[in-house]
Structure 1
């Protein structure tokens, strides 16, 4: 009896030890780890802004140059010696005013010779004409003048008339050449340079002009407008400008003309403003700073400047529409405060990321 009860107690103890070992094994095994509660990932959100469709007026300050309205180098058309100079640097002259006188004796002799020849041929023409008219009067009587004689007189008259007209044209040519010895001003202006003295040889054999002159009562304000602003120019556009020689003073101007095409060298549009200068306040050749008021001809897209992503592959904005992110290539236009004009495949319904990054992956 005592042995049986001892056997039963030993068996129960072994069962307890086995159960404890099994529990410990299960607790230590990987499958027995306690599962942590799973946390849900919240979707990432981005700050966005709408694309604005605007047509604002904006100001632009660009450098410019004041030039004489007209300027020319005055040359002698014929060769001759300078006989007399009537003006010097700084003189104001009127259109047609005599500036200098050249002398060329051989040209004068040629004119006198042509004039004498013209007079002789004219006398021959008058004689032939009178002879023909007399024969015409005589031919009224039948049989008084033979028809062949009348025709011969008419032919002689026409021949001498042609010779007279040719001689008169030759004389006019010599007279015109002689007139070229008188150098006259082509327009109202001021002499900016005199390059010869009395007795100097001038004319077609010399590339050096006698004078240089410019028109100063009206000036041209010339502006090279960058390509991105060329589409904002409109007829009659107003402008104000300043020059360094007169600090603090502002002048007004109105657009007169444009080049119409972009310059292929610097990709700019040339604007010209005619500036009246009756009192001579301004000088041709001055540099100026011009303020222009520009406006696009039609509305364009504008976005916050910080929403533009500049990368090595190009310039982009990132749109977020219907939980879909897209990268849109754009070209930058002008800047106005915190907004920047952009050109690309955008619409006012688009929402763009305010802080784009290359790390943000596009949906497609």
Structure 2
């Protein structure tokens, strides 16, 4: 019986030793696996691409507005009652065409009064001139006329001449004001509004314009270009645009002028394109969608779109140089199909990691 118990103890001890050895072997294998995995992690190969320093042409689409080339509210310069109207809303007029006539009887009376005053002062001037001429002739005889009398007569002539010139200017002014009773068109265009009727009081005492008129045979296409594209605008930029009133039809034009400075309200550059519209197929006030082809004045840095990492801390790209990863802050510019323009401390020889993530840490990579 004791022999049996001893054999049982030996067998149990042997089993325990075998189990302990098995556990140790598993632990060593697990530790070896972890080391291999860690080593494998350090030997990860990142896909990279070179930075491109190029200057491609790119296209953008921006909203715009078609406006009349010229648009004005027509007011009366002098006060008067509307005597006659010759045009109405929708009428096409030529520059200098008569639009309306005002009447102001008191203005005519003032003109007649000024004219009469002018004639009287002119007669006074003629009399003073004749008196001076006679004294001057008489002064040829020594002692006949005192020198002071001759000087006084000359001064009277000069005063009379000055009074006459002033009176004549006043009469001309009154005559000119009478011309303002005739309201004429300042340019070729169309009457868009008629705000008065015959008999209405118009002029400086009224804030109401007589007419609104606009030039329709030529339009201005005006748009606000975002700040990041402002440096890409060059003289002669071509634009294609469409309007909702004529779907499927594209119009072409060329840049005419820019504001030169950014608008302080929305940080944009205003562009204007002159659009000839002789047939009147386009209407001022329409909204348009414009496509512009722009190009930077100097080459810039471009990287693949998927290589840009956007986080809560900002926008970055990851660079792999000499087995060292660096995180470079950048600002995005223009986007093309597969490329993005970026601005930052980037060398043209840098290699960009194509699939960046926040888990990739900066620092050396062990070989």
- For 2:276 and 2:19, how far apart are their aligned partners in 1? 101
1:183 matches 2:183: yes
Is residue 99–residue 183 contact of structure 1 (8 Å, CA) maintained in 2? yes
- For 1:221 and 1:327, how far apart are their aligned partners in 2? 44
1:107 matches 2:118: no
Match of 2:330, SS? Answer: strand
Is residue 227–residue 267 contact of structure 1 (8 Å, CA) maintained in 2? yes
- For 1:330 and 1:26, how far apart are their aligned partners in 2? 63
1:26 CA drift (Å): 7.5
1:322 CA drift (Å): 1.0
Match of 1:172, SS? Answer: helix
1:21 CA drift (Å): 11
1:20 CA drift (Å): 11
TM-superposition CA deviations, 1:152-208 (whole Å, max 9, x none) = 211111111111112112212222222222212112211111000000011112211
1:151 CA drift (Å): 1.2
Tell me which residue corresponds to 1:93: 93
Is residue 220–residue 274 contact of structure 1 (8 Å, CA) maintained in 2? yes
TM-superposition CA deviations, 1:26-60 (whole Å, max 9, x none) = 87778x94555946423122111111111001111
TM-superposition CA deviations, 1:130-171 (whole Å, max 9, x none) = 221222222223233221221121111111111111211221
Structure 2, unmatched stretches of 5+, are 1-9
For 1:110-259, what aligned pairs fall within 5 Å after superposition? 110-259=110-259
Match of 1:291, SS? Answer: strand
Structure 1, unmatched stretches of 5+, are 1-18
TM-superposition CA deviations, 1:45-97 (whole Å, max 9, x none) = 21111111110011112221111111000111221110111111122222222
* Higher CA-based Rg: 1
Tell me which residue corresponds to 1:358: 358
Tell me which residue corresponds to 1:324: 324
**TM-score normalised by structure 2 residue count:** 0.88
1:63 matches 2:68: no
Tell me which residue corresponds to 2:7: none
For 1:342-353, what aligned pairs fall within 5 Å after superposition? 342-353=342-353
Q: Which moved more, 1:44-53 or 1:115-124?
A: 44-53
**TM-score normalised by structure 1 residue count:** 0.89
Is residue 239–residue 254 contact of structure 1 (8 Å, CA) maintained in 2? yes
Is residue 51–residue 301 contact of structure 1 (8 Å, CA) maintained in 2? yes
Is residue 27–residue 33 contact of structure 1 (8 Å, CA) maintained in 2? no
1:128/1:305 CA distance change after superposition, 3 Å: same
- For 2:133 and 2:139, how far apart are their aligned partners in 1? 10
Runs of 4+ in 1 over 4 A off after TM superposition: 19-30, 32-40
Tell me which residue corresponds to 2:4: none
- Matched residues, number: 350
TM-superposition CA deviations, 1:283-310 (whole Å, max 9, x none) = 2112222121100111111111111111
Is residue 47–residue 355 contact of structure 1 (8 Å, CA) maintained in 2? yes
